[in-house]
Amino acid sequence: MKIQVAGPGCPRCQMTEKNVFDACAELNLAADISHITDRKQIQELGVWTTPAVIVDGKIVVSGRIPSVPELKKFFADTGKAS
């Protein structure tokens, strides 16, 4: 699973990234996690409001900080679908 956090690096983006790492750790999920901070790359991904979480190329959260339980549920559901 490839997970990208898109945002300029503000505190909201940092909290989103932390929540992604925490959710993956709690699920014992080995994911390729990266943080995209380049504005042009963020727009190329189709993100217009940050922070955003992109899983395997699909925007799953945009414009808010997702909670760890919300991310865990999504990652678990996505893992079952693959």
Could you list the active site residues? 10, 13
Q: How many domains does the chain have?
A: 1
Runs of H (alpha helix) within the chain: 11-27, 39-44, 68-81
Largest Cα separation within the chain, whole Å, is 32
Instruction: Give CA–CA dist 66/75, Å, rounded.
Output: 12
Give the pTM.
0.91
- The residue segments making up the domain with residue 49 are 2-81
pLDDT at 25: 96
Q: What is the pLDDT of residues 23-82, one digit of tens each?
A: 999 999 999 999 999 999 999 999 999 999 999 999 999 999 999 999 999 888 776 544
In CATH, what number is assigned to the domain containing residue 67? 3.40.30.10
